[in-house]
Structure 1
Amino acid sequence: MAVSSGVPAETFAKASARAFSDTSSGALAGASARVSTDLASAPRSTDLTSALRARAADLGEPGGAPLGPSAEVAQPVFSRYWLHNRGAAPLGYQPMSVSLRPSGEPGAGGRLRVTLASDLVDTDAEGHLRIVTPPGWDADPGDRPVLLGPGGWTSFEVDLTPAPDAGAGPYVIAAQLTHGGQVHEDVLFVDGRGRPAPGGRTGLLEVEPAGEGLTLAPGRSGRLTAVLRNHAGFDIRGEAQVISPWGTWDAVRTASHPLEVAAGGGAELHVDVTVPPGTRPGSWWVLLKCMWFGRLSYSPAVPLLVRDAG
């Protein structure tokens, strides 16, 4: 941005010019622009109105390098993210949302309702919806394009056909909406006839540390490993978040990890730790919070010890 005294524009910065009698210039905090304002001719005890203009060099070229992450590390993103107690809305603030619920009609076993909505108020929202079912199951419609006007929404029913050999369940049905470079997902647990069923218990995903923690000197690196065991009859996917106290975040730099464990299977999750040089000796802790389908599974905490550099 450049500031030029007395030039009208759509956006103005108004600053008091009291007691200034020379030319001032400096950099705008947090930006690469320069501020240059000639106050020599401005009378004392007056107000100065200046125009702010962005320089083309500061705007960057379309399609250039992004300023930061534009999508969550763990995909798909659970649409009812507040159930995971992970903080603010996902990256992108979920401008299109998806909801999967029972149909609500009497005797409508095997029928679900999908609702889609757009929070965009100045443009259309476009995406693609896919219904993900267990092997051998069928959904009608199974996928469809989505186009919503500003602030628009739509709702439609999905008929489920269970596999001929489906047991009691529960089974997971997912509605996945692809939009803006991310996949947003809502899930519903059903029984072997496609009717709503109690969901999985938190204890179905077991999270245990593989060791007794880490002891590191400043400047040294190590790895924490957690063993995940899925006791459910369905695949579990979601996000694992590393939880540790303030003061350790420079050592545990990657806080979010994708999570996927096959039905009845196991997996390992690795957390790399590098203690910055100059870190004072002390004792902290680290644990894993695994978030899946609106459930939370925690590991026990393990110690993170920083010993003296000598």
Structure 2
Amino acid sequence: MGELCEVVQEITLRKGIKRVDFRTILVDVQSEDYLYCVTFPTNLEGVVPVFDERFGVVSRNESKGYLDFRTHRQIMFSDCAVYAANKWMEYGPNAAVAVGKNRYALNMVGLVTPKRKRDIAVGEELQRRLVRKGVTCTPWYDTHGPRWGTYQDHMDDDLLYTRFRISLGCTGKNTYTQRLLDVQRPSVRKAFSKHLAQNGFAFLLVKDGDFLDPSWPALPVLLIEATNASLLEHACNALLKGFDETAVMMLPDEADAIGEPHAVDDYGIAVLNVGTYANSIERGGTICMLLNHTCRWYGGTNNFPEGYLVPENRHHVYTYALYPHAGDWRQARAQHAGHEFNHPLMARQVRPAANPCLPPEKAFLKVEPANVILAAMKPWGNPIAAFERRAKADPTKGVMLRLYDTEGVASKAHIAFASRVVTAWSGNLLEERGEDLAVERDSLSVPLAPFSIETVGFVPRPMPAKYPRRALGPQREPVQPVWVRSWEHDAESMPMGYEPVVASISREVREEDGGRTLRLRVNVVNDYTDAAASGEARLYVPEGWRVEPERIAYVVEPLGYQPTEITVHRPTADAAGQIKLRFDHDGQTFQDVLEMGAAFDLDMSVKHEGQHIVVALRNPTAEAVESEVALASPIETWPQALVGTHALGPITPRTQAVALGPGEKTWLVFKVGPMAHEELVGEPSYWAVVKLMTNGRIHLQRCDWRPPARHLDDDRWSRRYAEHVKARKGHQRRGTTD
């Protein structure tokens, strides 16, 4: 690593918390086409990769090789197994097949059936039960095609995503089952036939290593054979008895034809992440978390005058944690550990109230059992997103809870509240109110189907004291006027408030009088669903031009629009100028501009001056121009209040407004804050892109900061770190902190 970058590694143990927290800083990464990752070798036996899939948990497979990530789009040329872990992944037990003293991980199943209707129906029920325990299941016909739910031609083509096979059928019709039976010892075949004749069904656990590609390891295969479809269904039901609760299929001792000892360790190791989604388990049981890939942005298409951008060329900060535990992830509540790591408790020291209305210790609400996660709590309804002007998000009139099941089990979520609940009801994802729910002793019981997401609303008892309403964040865009066509400036999705009322100038222009008279249309659209919109839009044209009408009053009914024809007179047919339209709504000013005859752009240059990025702007045109200048930079340069421990040195502000008259100049300054851990990290290292947005166009300029090349050997870094620790102890003795 010393040839590519320096590494600062912080390891933190917290009293009473059973995890190991890490903070890794990659210092001044300057390479291209390298993949950086963190690995944790393990000695676990028989376990499987388990991934948090946002609203469920799924077991996966290991990579065929070791740290070989040759891929293109969805194609894994190296048969690597990289998956997205929303908040956590682990290497541990999930589901298993138990036979005698042996256990085999039940994971990424290939389900093989004949093309017979009743056999397929039994297989589909088995598939449903497996999926509920996070075991993916790819169905195949025994003749390899036509495909049943898959796009591969042969089930051996899917070995990267198959770690176990189940082959079922009746009366010898499954050719895959028969092929595997034919290669068993005569005594095994005889015993299997005897059980089949006596019981009407039989199980046999074998191995299959006769693949199209012999480099793949052999797979365990569970054969389920019956004399008719009813007994096949009975056999699968017997196999699945207790599986929903234990995630273990129990086989009789005599069903094991593999003849080798095999165990599944009853403990696991989870890796909790904050934004580092790409994870894998490499061959041999090494946990791997991918950090970054130093590649050119958009393939190096020269989006910038300064050349291509490699976004990973900078300082990087990563936070993650190890969570070792006994038992499987369900018993260890790994899903809760992932949420707790991503959403740590925020403590605030406040002055006690003279007449407190809350006890010293109390939970606002408590959710049980452990398989249920409370994912969101907010005032009921979405009036802004629903374009409802009259409705307000008021928690005294309703609070929304969103719950989901993580373990694939049908259960009842028990919600206990700290104080009395007036009423409660069920809802949907759009927060439309459904049936009323019974409230008993200030608690609710909500049925949850496996992996379901449920929405519940309730009205809490009014607080004894009334508190003033406070805005939780900004209520308007920092730059005014707001460009109504926000997508043209690539300025996120929509401005604050979602633009429920928009006035804009049509881009269809009819010329008359040789081009001196322009016929245009101004459209006012009201997206509110429950209220009319009224106001006034005003048009501005260059000196010497005339517009009729200059002011447009509008009253637009819900979901309606109002078109207004306007006429613009310009002095000559080739006169260039801007036709501007402005209107106010909910405390913000919006603007649309139609340019005629020329583009009205500002000249921009960018440079560093000490701890500042200075943007010089000049208006070379004959008219006033309103623009926005934003700075795009890595997360490590964002304020600590936004990104916590990922912050190294903030660059502020994020965006600024500029309005220049003809020939005017100005300078905008973005301040580069002091570096955290400067004694370890050294100088700043970041890329920065200044983005000038004017009348629907974007101009970009780079302004990166790179320290001189430096690669420390271990001894020099150790001495620097020792000096850092000594300095911290000195601060603590003096009663200060750094």
TM-score, normalised with respect to structure 2: 0.32
Unaligned runs of 5+ in 1: 28-35, 43-49, 191-196, 215-221
Going from structure 1 to structure 2, the CA distance change for 1:212 and 1:239 (only over 3 Å counts) comes to closer
State the match for 1:110 in structure 2. 518
State the match for 2:613 in structure 1. 224
> SS at the partner of 2:671?
strand
Is 1:127 matched up with 2:535? yes
Going from structure 1 to structure 2, the CA distance change for 1:84 and 1:55 (only over 3 Å counts) comes to farther
Q: Deviations over 1:194-224 (max 9, x none)?
A: xxx3434xxx422112x4454xxxxxxx332
State the match for 1:31 in structure 2. none
Unaligned runs of 5+ in 2: 1-362, 367-396, 405-410, 420-438, 446-455, 640-649, 711-719, 728-738
> SS at the partner of 1:83?
helix
- Counterpart selection for 1:99 from 498, 504, 521: 504
> SS at the partner of 1:130?
strand
Q: Choose between structure 1 and 2: higher helix proportion.
A: 2
Q: Choose between structure 1 and 2: higher strand proportion.
A: 1
Contact kept in structure 1, 2:511 and 2:519, CA below 8 Å: no
State the match for 2:694 in structure 1. 292
State the match for 1:72 in structure 2. 477
Aligned-residue CA RMSD (Å):
4.1
Going from structure 1 to structure 2, the CA distance change for 1:161 and 1:252 (only over 3 Å counts) comes to same
Q: Which amino acid aligns with 2:501?
A: M
Q: Which amino acid aligns with 1:159?
A: T
> SS at the partner of 2:688?
strand
Q: Which amino acid aligns with 1:300?
A: R
State the match for 1:181 in structure 2. 587
> SS at the partner of 1:82?
helix
Distance in 1 of aligned mates of 2:665 and 2:582: 25
Is 1:264 matched up with 2:653? no
Going from structure 1 to structure 2, the CA distance change for 1:2 and 1:146 (only over 3 Å counts) comes to farther
Going from structure 1 to structure 2, the CA distance change for 1:37 and 1:237 (only over 3 Å counts) comes to farther
Q: Which amino acid aligns with 1:278?
A: H
In the alignment of these two chains, the number of paired residues is 269
Distance in 2 of aligned mates of 1:99 and 1:12: 36
Query: Offset at 1:56?
Result: 4.5
Q: Deviations over 1:251-273 (max 9, x none)?
A: 02421111212222211111122
State the match for 2:602 in structure 1. 205
Q: Deviations over 1:134-193 (max 9, x none)?
A: 12332211113222111010111112233x5x6944200111121111122111122xxx
State the match for 1:254 in structure 2. 653
Deviates more, 1:94-103 or 1:148-157: 94-103
State the match for 2:46 in structure 1. none
State the match for 2:704 in structure 1. 302
Contact kept in structure 1, 2:687 and 2:702, CA below 8 Å: no
Q: Which amino acid aligns with 2:653?
A: T
- Counterpart selection for 1:158 from 566, 578, 584: 566
Distance in 2 of aligned mates of 1:252 and 1:58: 44
> SS at the partner of 2:488?
helix
Q: Which amino acid aligns with 1:137?
A: W
> SS at the partner of 2:686?
strand
Q: Deviations over 1:4-52 (max 9, x none)?
A: 9xxxx9888689568x8xx96679xxxxxxxx98599x9xxxxxxx972
Going from structure 1 to structure 2, the CA distance change for 1:57 and 1:173 (only over 3 Å counts) comes to farther
Query: Offset at 1:90?
Result: 0.7
Going from structure 1 to structure 2, the CA distance change for 1:126 and 1:12 (only over 3 Å counts) comes to closer
Higher RCO (C-alpha under 8 Å, 6+ residues apart):
1
State the match for 2:630 in structure 1. 241
Query: Offset at 1:95?
Result: 0.7
Contact kept in structure 2, 1:129 and 1:176, CA below 8 Å: yes
Q: Which amino acid aligns with 2:491?
A: R
> SS at the partner of 2:651?
coil
> SS at the partner of 1:65?
coil
Going from structure 1 to structure 2, the CA distance change for 1:300 and 1:207 (only over 3 Å counts) comes to farther
> SS at the partner of 1:275?
coil
Going from structure 1 to structure 2, the CA distance change for 1:213 and 1:120 (only over 3 Å counts) comes to same
Deviates more, 1:295-304 or 1:257-266: 295-304
Going from structure 1 to structure 2, the CA distance change for 1:235 and 1:52 (only over 3 Å counts) comes to same
Going from structure 1 to structure 2, the CA distance change for 1:66 and 1:305 (only over 3 Å counts) comes to farther
Q: Which amino acid aligns with 2:670?
A: V
Contact kept in structure 2, 1:75 and 1:238, CA below 8 Å: no
TM-score, normalised with respect to structure 1: 0.71
Q: Deviations over 1:61-111 (max 9, x none)?
A: 67x432211111111111111111121111111111122135654637322
Q: Percent identity?
A: 23
State the match for 1:139 in structure 2. 547
Going from structure 1 to structure 2, the CA distance change for 1:51 and 1:226 (only over 3 Å counts) comes to closer
State the match for 1:277 in structure 2. 676
Q: Which amino acid aligns with 1:293?
A: N
Distance in 1 of aligned mates of 2:507 and 2:412: 65
Going from structure 1 to structure 2, the CA distance change for 1:140 and 1:227 (only over 3 Å counts) comes to same
> SS at the partner of 1:139?
strand
Going from structure 1 to structure 2, the CA distance change for 1:246 and 1:12 (only over 3 Å counts) comes to closer
Q: Deviations over 1:267-300 (max 9, x none)?
A: 1111122235336434112231110101112233
Contact kept in structure 2, 1:140 and 1:159, CA below 8 Å: yes
Distance in 2 of aligned mates of 1:159 and 1:2: 61
Distance in 2 of aligned mates of 1:252 and 1:274: 6
Going from structure 1 to structure 2, the CA distance change for 1:213 and 1:167 (only over 3 Å counts) comes to farther
> SS at the partner of 2:636?
coil
> SS at the partner of 2:487?
helix
